[in-house]
Structure 1
């Protein structure tokens, strides 16, 4: 399994108890979708290594407690990232998208003006941001706000936005 075929699910943060349980912080809005995980991929030395789970139980919001089958030293996995295959993502409603899907989409205004190409979605800041390269090579940061997004066309690979007056002038 290659990293580009997977999505980041969370990070192993610490051991719990003495029976091999690990605490995973899930990076998701829907932690309930992962309470019955049977297997995961853990990034180790740049590779994704599959592990089967003996147990996966939700704990306090976005935390999952897991026990990995037949693994002698689970504490060596603390701090590692967990991934799942992209095909395991639940389907979305019309007009919704996963951040990884819109990479390389064109962003247009309602008037059809090209804002640029989405090269990334930054989700490590207080406000998630579309990182857009404008046609003249400038980096533009557009907040990911439902009110700004008019439509998403997965077939044409476009996102149409309605931006506040003057937002693009900042860049």
Structure 2
């Protein structure tokens, strides 16, 4: 199974290093020296990680054969892809690989359907589920214990207990805006008629 583990960002310095946007919860395993990664576009790779270090909160990588800024900049926006054994499990039973969470149905604890996980975004402060709703809109769900109360891989679902305002129905928001706009126009028209 193939898993996108990072996206190459800007070149850093003049010796071939690049910044990377990490998309795995195990960067030390997937993005360590010696790791060989496939790429998208495929013409950029495969790439072998030569060195890695953290600088100002960002992961910097250098790939074998990439020796200068121009070569590093040519890799910008390239997706880095790892081959992952689909049966491999994290050591901690409360941790999950991204591929295990992708496409899970998201429902509230009351059983209301929210949508389907289409992406996991790894931010410095927390991870987020990008959830596509049935109407095609997206909602971001923080992957924290207080909100995501259960992951059931057998049932292929994630149960959430969202705080007020997190997943308010977009249709209700749009409807509310339409009502406010119509009310504002009515006010304008009535004040114009009095003048």
Q: Give the C-alpha shift of residue 168 in structure 1.
A: 4.8
Partner deviation per Cα, 1:61-117 (whole Å, 9 max, x = no partner)? 432231424889734634142413251787263343344533332222223x23243
Aligned to 1:11: 8
CA displacement, residues 15-41 of structure 1 (integer Å, 9 cap, x when unaligned): 533xx5322324256544433233222
The structure with the largest alpha-carbon Rg is: 2
1:85 aligns with 82
Shift of 1:153: 0.8
CA distance, structure 2, for counterparts of residue 138 and residue 42 of structure 1: 28
Aligned partner of 2:151 in structure 1 is: 152
Question: Which residues of structure 2 form unaligned runs of 5+?
Answer: 171-195
Q: Report the structure, 1 or 2, having the larger strand content.
A: 1
List structure 1 segments (4+ residues) > 3 angstroms apart after TM superposition. 28-33, 69-73, 95-101, 121-130, 137-140, 165-171
Matched, 1:51 2:47: yes
CA distance in 2: counterparts of 1:85 and 1:8, whole angstroms:
6
Q: Output the CA distance in 2 between the equivalents of 1:133 and 1:26.
A: 25
Return 5+ residue gaps in structure 1 as ranges.
none
Q: After TM superposition, list the pairs within 5 Å mapping 1:14-163 onto structure 2.
A: 14=11, 16-17=13-14, 21-27=16-22, 31-33=27-29, 34-44=31-41, 49-53=45-49, 55-60=50-55, 61-69=57-65, 74-75=71-72, 77-87=74-84, 91=90, 93-111=92-110, 113-121=111-119, 123=121, 128-134=128-134, 137=135, 139=137, 141-146=139-144, 147-163=146-162
Note the C-alpha offset of 1:43. 2.6
Which secondary structure state, in structure 2, belongs to the residue aligned with residue 123 of structure 1? Answer: strand
* Cα separation, partners in 2 of 1:167 and 1:86, compared to 1, 3 Å: same
Higher helix share: 2
TM-score, normalised to structure 2, is 0.60
- State the aligned residue count: 161
Separation in 1, partners of 2:67, 2:122 = 32
How has the CA–CA distance of structure 1 residues 30 and 97 changed in structure 2, closer, same or farther, with 3 Å as cutoff?
A: closer
Compared CA separation, residues 24 and 121, structure 1 to 2 (3 A): same
